[in-house]
Amino acid sequence: MLDLKFVRENPEVVKQNIRNKFQDQKLPLVDEVIQLDAERRASQQEADQLRAERNKLSKQIGALMGQGKKEEAEEVKKQVAAQAARLEELSAKETELNEKVTKIMMTLPNIIDPSVPIGKDDGENVEVTKYGDPVVPDFEIPYHTEIMERFNGIDLDSARKVAGNGFYYLMGDIARLHSAVIAYARDFMIDRGFTYCVPPFMIRSNVVTGVMSFAEMDAMMYKIEGEDLYLIGTSEHSMIGKFIDTIIPEEKLPYTLTSYSPCFRKEKGAHGIEERGVYRIHQFEKQEMIVVCKPEDSMMWFDKLWQNTVDLFRSMDIPVRTLECCSGDLADLKVKSFDVEAWSPRQKKYFEVGSCSNLGDAQARRLKIRVDGKDGKYFAHTLNNTVVAPPRMLIAFLENNLQADGSVRIPEVLRPYMGGKTELR
Which of 243, 207, 237, 14 shows the shortest CA–CA distance to 110? 14
116 occurs within a structural domain:
no
Are the CB atoms for 257 and 197 separated by under 8 Å?
A: yes
Q: Is 412 inside a domain boundary?
A: yes
State residue 268's pLDDT score: 67
- 39 and 134 within one domain: no
Q: Kindly tell me the burial class for residue 130, based on how many C-beta atoms sit within 10 Å of its own C-beta (0-12, 13-18, 19 or more).
A: middle
3-state secondary structure (DSSP) of residue 361: coil
Mean pLDDT for the chain overall = 92
Taking the alpha carbons at both ends of the chain, their separation in whole angstroms is 52
CATH number at residue 45: 1.10.287.40
101, 130: one domain: no
pLDDT in tens, 257-273: 999 999 999 976 545 55
For residues 269 and 165, state if they share a domain: yes
Angle at 169 between CA 165 and CA 173, to 5 degrees: 145
pLDDT in tens, 186-231: 999 999 999 999 999 999 999 999 999 877 888 889 999 999 999 9
Rounded to whole angstroms, how far apart are CA atoms 332 and 106? 9
What is the average per-residue pLDDT within 331-347?
96
Q: Greatest CA span in the chain, whole angstroms?
A: 108
Range of the domain at 22: 4-105
Domain C-terminal end among 105, 136, 169: 105
Strands (E), 41-85: none
- Say if residue 233 is in the same domain as residue 360: yes
Alpha-carbon span 296 to 294, nearest angstrom:
6
Give the pLDDT confidence score for residue 73 in this predicted structure: 66
Higher pLDDT, 68 or 143: 143
Q: Are 40 and 101 in contact (CB under 8 A)?
A: yes
Together in a domain, 356 and 274: yes
Are 236 and 203 contacting, i.e. CB atoms less than 8 angstroms apart?
no
The answer to whether position 361 is within a domain reads: yes
Antiparallel, parallel or unpaired: β 246-249 and 369-373: parallel
Residues 89, 147, single domain; the answer is no
| Residue 276 and residue 351 in one domain | yes
Would 140 be classed as within a structural domain? yes
pLDDT at 56 > cutoff 80: no
Preceding omega of 391 cis (within 30 degrees of 0): yes
CA 196, distance to chain mean position in Å, is: 19
Given a cut of 90, whether residue 47 has pLDDT beyond it is: no
Whether 241 has a pLDDT exceeding 70, the answer reads yes
Asked whether 310 and 330 are in contact (CB, 8 A), the reply is: no
In a domain, 113, yes or no: no
Q: What's the pLDDT at 55?
A: 72
Instruction: Select the more confidently predicted residue: 83 or 339.
Output: 339
CA nearest 183: which of 169, 198, 166, 171?
A: 198
Domain boundary among 51, 74, 105: 105
Domain CATH for 131: 3.30.930.10
Least confident of 72-76, 133-137, 294-298: 72-76
By mean pLDDT, which of 60-69, 93-102, 174-183 is the weakest?
60-69
Residues 175 and 309 in one domain: yes
**Of 329, 327, 356, whose CA–CA distance to 340 is shortest?**
356
> Are 52 and 132 in a shared domain?
no
Distances from the Cα of 22 to the Cα of 7, 232, 248, 321, 396, angstroms: 18, 28, 36, 26, 33
**Does residue 401 sit in the same domain as residue 291?**
yes
Work out the average pLDDT over 347-371. Answer: 96
In a domain, 155, yes or no: yes
- My answer on whether 154 and 283 are in the same domain is yes
Domain count of the chain? 2
Per-residue pLDDT band at 275 (split at 50, 70, 90): low
Q: Which residues pair with 354 in a beta bridge?
A: 340
Which amino acid belongs to residue 148? M
Considering the domain architecture, whether residues 234 and 350 belong to the same structural domain is answered as yes
Residues 290-321: tens digit of each pLDDT: 999 999 999 999 999 999 999 999 999 999 99
Last residue of a domain, one of 105, 136, 158: 105
66 in a structural domain: yes
Total residues belonging to the chain: 425
Q: Is there a domain that residue 315 lies in?
A: yes
Q: Which amino acid is residue 125, in one-letter code?
A: N
| pLDDT at residue 274, rounded to an integer | 56
**pLDDT tens per residue across span 9-20:** 999 999 999 999
